[in-house]
Chain A
Amino acid sequence: MKVTAMIVNKEVFLRLSEAAIGIVALIIGGLLYIGYRSDCLLMFDWFQNLGLSNVINSFRAETNGQSVYEWVRNSLPAGLWLFSYMFIIDSVWGKEKNHISMFFLYLLPTVAIVSELMQYIKILPGTFDMLDMLSYILAVLLYLLIKKL
């Protein structure tokens, strides 16, 4: 029996959507970092090594005059990075839930939150930032909330 029809698989569509959400979140976070953060971060050394300095500098020049909220510049990219990671990992595993998928899903959020806590108790170098911590927690909560819907 031959049937000519286009059937869209819900699960594949959902997984692709999750991956797309993750990539978009990562791009937004990345652009915020490149455009608004101090150039003493490691990534700017990498861009220089890759010969991308001109492109990056012209992009930074574009964003130079624009003012954005402190938390958008400093904390939102971190939250988007974590949010993006969780969505992309989730798109890899789909409906398959086991201890390995859970391990990968929550590894980076755990490391991020623990490292922020360790900065608070001065075990790690760097400055503890409550907004960073909140953005990590919000990223995880937002992921869980969207997954519940």
Chain B
Amino acid sequence: MKTKSIISFLILLLFAILGSGSFTEGELKIFGIMIVVAVIVGIVMGLLNASDDKEAAERLQKNREEELKAKTEAYNNQMQQFLTLNGTPDKTIILEKLDLSSEIHVYEKSKKVFVLGKEYAFKDVISCTFSDSPRIVKGKITAVTKSKNGSVIGRSIVGDVVAGPAGAIIGGVTAKKNTEYIQEDDKTIHDYTVIINMNSISDPIIRIHTGEKGRLTNEIVGLMNVIISRK
């Protein structure tokens, strides 16, 4: 943005000079003053905006910190009550920080498990599996334009061939040259969901969205399979 601002300023200056050529001496001074005043006003406005943005960012940061503090206190209180009531769990999996209803707690002795804030007996866990809805992200493309004799005269750019708009392209279409595109490997982005089948008429299925976290998904499925084998 800084470069564009400088280029724009130079263009403005050039056009102001070109425009001033169409004036007589007396008019020129006033025109020049108006341009200078307009630029100064613009700079002051820009600075004021930047200062407002900074203050807003600071306020936002402070609000976030206060929210986090309040959330932490509330969580600690809830957790304290939970531990007083149930004791220390043998195994805990945290899906989301500072949210008791996004945790899994297992009590081996009493054969009970808390999944997303609800209590179940080991025997109620019927099965556990996971689903995946992956999406494929095309690898980046680097393009190099070479002249006939092989020297690199072009430039490299990055883009997505399929996705288009940001896509790859080369300017300078006049000279005879060869453009080579080298594409990185495609990436697969996983989107996992753990599906637990419970012995409950009202809520037979618990879905836990774990997104890209393959390790967490394995851990939950593994834990549920252990519970099933011990019921």
How far in angstroms is the closest Cβ of chain B from A109?
11
Given A1-B182, A9-B169, A92-B4, verify A77-B22 contact (CB < 8 Å).
yes
Query: Which residues of chain B (15-68) have a CB below 8 Å from chain A?
Result: 15-16, 18-28, 30-31, 34-35, 38-39, 42, 45-46, 49
Against B, the Cβ 8 Å flags (1 = close, 0 = not) of A3-33 are: 1111111111000100000000010001001
For the complex, is A130 an interface residue (Cβ under 8 Å from B)? no
Please, which residues of chain A bring their CB within 8 A of the CB of B27? Answer: 124-126
Q: Is the CB of A6 within 8 A of B8?
A: no
Of B69-77, B173-181, B187-195, B201-209, the one touching chain A:
B173-181
For the complex, is B136 an interface residue (Cβ under 8 Å from A)? no
Of A62-70, A93-101, A139-147, the one touching chain B:
A93-101
Of B103-111, B160-168, B222-230, the one touching chain A:
B160-168
* Measured CA separation A5–B171 after assembly (Å): 13
Please, which residues of chain B bring their CB within 8 A of the CB of A61? Answer: none
Against B, the Cβ 8 Å flags (1 = close, 0 = not) of A95-139 are: 010111101100110111011000000001110000000000000
Beta-carbon nearest neighbor of A33 in chain B? B22
For the complex, is B9 an interface residue (Cβ under 8 Å from A)? yes
Q: Is the CB of B38 within 8 A of A111?
A: yes
* Measured CA separation A88–B134 after assembly (Å): 44
Please, which residues of chain A bring their CB within 8 A of the CB of B8? Answer: 89, 92-93, 100-101, 104
* Measured CA separation A101–B15 after assembly (Å): 16
The majority secondary structure among interface residues of chain A is helix
> Which of B12, B25, B168 touches A107 (beta carbons < 8 Å)?
B12
* Measured CA separation A75–B18 after assembly (Å): 15
For the complex, is A40 an interface residue (Cβ under 8 Å from B)? yes
For the complex, is B5 an interface residue (Cβ under 8 Å from A)? yes
Q: Is the CB of B7 within 8 A of A92?
A: yes
> Which of A5, A26, A37, A89 touches B22 (beta carbons < 8 Å)?
A37
For the complex, is B170 an interface residue (Cβ under 8 Å from A)? yes
* Measured CA separation A5–B178 after assembly (Å): 8
For the side of the interface on A, what is the size category? 35 or more
Please, which residues of chain A bring their CB within 8 A of the CB of B1? Answer: 96, 98, 100
Beta-carbon nearest neighbor of A125 in chain B? B26
* Measured CA separation A38–B193 after assembly (Å): 78
Beta-carbon nearest neighbor of A99 in chain B? B49
How far in angstroms is the closest Cβ of chain A from B17?
9
How far in angstroms is the closest Cβ of chain A from B167?
7
For the complex, is B183 an interface residue (Cβ under 8 Å from A)? yes
> Which of B19, B35, B45, B161 touches A103 (beta carbons < 8 Å)?
B45
Which B residues are closer than 8 A to A by beta carbons?
A: 1, 4-5, 7-9, 11-12, 15-16, 18-28, 30-31, 34-35, 38-39, 42, 45-46, 49, 141, 161, 165, 167-171, 173, 178-183
Q: Can you list 16 A-B contacts with CB-CB less than 8 angstroms, sorted by A residue number?
A: A2-B181, A5-B179, A6-B173, A7-B168, A9-B169, A33-B22, A37-B22, A42-B25, A81-B19, A93-B4, A93-B8, A104-B12, A107-B38, A107-B39, A112-B19, A125-B30
